Structure 1
C-alpha cells in the first residue's frame, strides 16, 4: 500500500485500517468495509457515482406449482416450511413491512414472521421466503451476521455449493467490533427469479465520529430451501463507498 495513505483523513479508523483487504469479500463485512476504503484512500480514487435508476415494479405472486417428484419438491420447499413464492422478474417498489428491527449488540437487523428469518441454530438466523422480500431480508440480516460472534457457523450454512464455496468459507473469523455500526437506509432488487436474486443495499457506516455511505450488492442463489450467497460467483458480495445513495434507492430503515 502506498505511503500516501498514512496521512489521509480518518487514519486509525476501522474504516481505513490497512491490511483489511479480503480476497473473499463475502467473509467478514466489517473487514471488507475497512479494506476497500483503505485501498480507495491509498489509490486516490474518488467515490463512485450511483448508477442510473431502474424502474421498480410490484411483482405478482406465482401460481401454485403443480405436483412434482418428492426429491425435487424437497429441494425447492422452504427449509423451515415458510410459505410464499414470487415469479421471475418481480420487483419491490416500496420497503416491505417488518415485524421489528432487532439488535445483536449495536447492529440492527429486520425480522418478519412472513419473510424471515424464521429459524435459528448455533446462534445464527436462517430461513427466508422465496420472494424478493425474502432475498432482501437475507441480505439485510447478513450485514449483521457477517460481523457477529457466530459468523463462522453462519457462513458455512450461508454459501451455496459452487466453484468458490471452499474459498469463500475457509477464511472466516468471528468476532464483533463495537466501534463500527452499519445502518441500512434503502435497497434495490436488481434481479429476481425463484432460483436467484441480486439485491443492492444502501448502507450508512459509522465509526469514531465518521459516516461513510456504502453500496453493497448481494448475488444470491436458492438452495436447499433457503437463500444463500452464490458459491459459483467469486465475489457474491461487493461493497464500495459512494458519494450518495441516490434517488433510485427505495428507502427502508428502522421504523418501517
Structure 2
C-alpha cells in the first residue's frame, strides 16, 4: 500500500458526498483497505507546514453580487505556486460549506448560490475548487463543464442539508497551469484524515475555473491520507 489509499471511482459508493466532501468520513477508514494503491506514489512533502490568517466566517461581509455586465473583474495575474498558504478569509457559502476567499484571487462574484470569478493562476484554482464544489452542491450546473455526465454528477453531489460538513485543513497542488489544475484538499475529522482531489479546467467562455467532467480521470476523487506532512496547512 502506497502513501495514500484512494477510491478510484467514488460514484456509487454507499456514503454521500455533501458540498463536495465526505459526510460520513468514517467510511473512508472502513473501506480504505479495499481501495487500489496509487501507481505513482504520494507527491513529495513541502519543506514545512504553513499557516495563513483567517477570519470568522460568520462576521465576514458578503462579496459583490455581480460583476459589471456579467463579466469578471480583473484579478491577480501572479502565476507563482502557493508554496505557503495564501491570505484567506473563510466565508459561508449559501449551501452551508465554509469556503476560502481572497480579494485578489476570488470569488469576485457571489451571486446567490453561485460564487465565481477566480483568477487564472495556480492560487486562483486553489480557491476555485472548493467554491465550485459548493456551487455544484447548491445545484449550479454552471460550475462544471458541459458534459453528457453532468446530470449524473450533479445528482451525486447535490446536498440535501443533512449530515455534517467536515473542515478543510490543508492542500497540495498536484499540477496547475493556465488551462488546467489538479488540487487535493486535506479534510480533518476525529475519526480519519482524508483528501478530496478535484480536476479543474479554465473556461475561456466564462473566464473562470470549472470542474472538469471531460477529463479521463475522475473529476472528484476521495481517498485516505497517510502522510499529512505532504499537505500545506491552510488554517
2:228 paired with 1:242: no
Q: 1:123 to 1:55 in 2, by over 3 A?
A: closer
Q: 1:240 to 1:160 in 2, by over 3 A?
A: same
Comparing both chains, which one has the higher relative contact order based on Cα–Cα distances under 8 Å and sequence gaps of 6 or more? 2
Q: Distance in 2 between matches of 1:44 and 1:190?
A: 23
Aligned match for 1:197, one of 165, 174, 181 = 181
Instruction: Provide structure 1 residue ranges, at least 5 long, that are not aligned to the other structure.
Output: 1-17, 57-77
Instruction: Provide structure 2 residue ranges, at least 5 long, that are not aligned to the other structure.
Output: 1-12, 48-69
2:14 paired with 1:19: yes
1:84 corresponds to: 76
- Asked whether the 8 Å contact 1:127–1:225 carries over to 2, the reply is yes
2:5 corresponds to: none
Number of residue-to-residue matches in the alignment:
195
Q: State the SS of the aligned residue for 1:181.
A: coil
TM-score (norm 2): 0.68
Instruction: Show the 5 A alignment for 1:27-106.
Output: 29-30=20-21, 32-34=22-24, 38=27, 41=30, 44-45=33-34, 51-53=42-44, 79-86=71-78, 90-98=80-88, 100-104=89-93
- Asked whether the 8 Å contact 1:219–1:229 carries over to 2, the reply is yes
- Asked whether the 8 Å contact 1:119–1:125 carries over to 2, the reply is yes
Displacement of 1:227: 0.4
Displacement of 1:252: 1.0
Displacement of 1:212: 2.4
1:251 corresponds to: 233
Q: Deviations over 1:99-152 (max 9, x none)?
A: x212358642211111111112242211111111110001233454455xxx11
Structure ID, larger Rg: 1
- Asked whether the 8 Å contact 1:37–1:241 carries over to 2, the reply is no
TM-score (norm 1): 0.63
Q: Distance in 1 between matches of 2:77 and 2:33?
A: 45
Q: 1:241 to 1:95 in 2, by over 3 A?
A: same
Q: State the SS of the aligned residue for 2:130.
A: helix
Q: Deviations over 1:4-28 (max 9, x none)?
A: xxxxxxxxxxxxxx8336xxx7x85
How large is the Cα RMSD of the aligned pairs?
A: 3.4
Q: 1:48 to 1:183 in 2, by over 3 A?
A: farther
